[in-house]
């Protein structure tokens, strides 16, 4: 299901950047977002979690993007 999407590894990674990327200043901000998203998903009913492909999010790509923006 992974394919390039708007210059990102996949749609899931792109969406995380769209929704949260403007608020990141460091890679630790990306990690805080990851923890927030994972906790939020964990608290959803099982049937809703079945629709979410959070394992597809490339957190390393997102961290690398933030680090490139800083240089």
Annotated domain spans of the chain? 11-70
Instruction: Transcribe 8-36 into DSSP letters.
Output: BSSHHHHHHHHHHGGG-SSHHHHHHHHHH
Q: Could you tell me the pTM of the whole model?
A: 0.86
Angle 29-65-53 (CA atoms, 0-180°, nearest 5)? 75
Q: What is the pLDDT of residue 3?
A: 64
Residues 6-46 pLDDT 10s: 999 999 999 999 999 999 999 999 999 999 999 999 999 99
Residue 14 tokens read as 């792109």
Q: What is the pLDDT of residue 50?
A: 94
| Residue in this structure with the two tokens 């390039």, named with its chain if needed | 4
Q: What is the pLDDT of residue 53?
A: 87
| Residue in this structure with the two tokens 């949260």, named with its chain if needed | 20
* CA 44 remoteness from chain centre: 17
Q: What is the pLDDT of residue 70?
A: 75
pLDDT at 2 over 60: no
* Average pLDDT score over residue span 39-68: 95
């Amino acid at each position: 299901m992974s394919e390039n999407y708007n210059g990102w590894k996949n749609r899931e990674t792109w969406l995380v950047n769209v929704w949260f990327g403007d608020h990141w200043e460091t890679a630790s901000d990306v990690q805080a977002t990851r923890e927030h998203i994972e906790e939020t998903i964990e608290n959803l009913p099982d049937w809703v979690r079945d629709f979410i492909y959070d394992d597809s999010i490339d957190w390393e790509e997102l961290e690398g993007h933030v680090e490139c923006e800083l240089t």
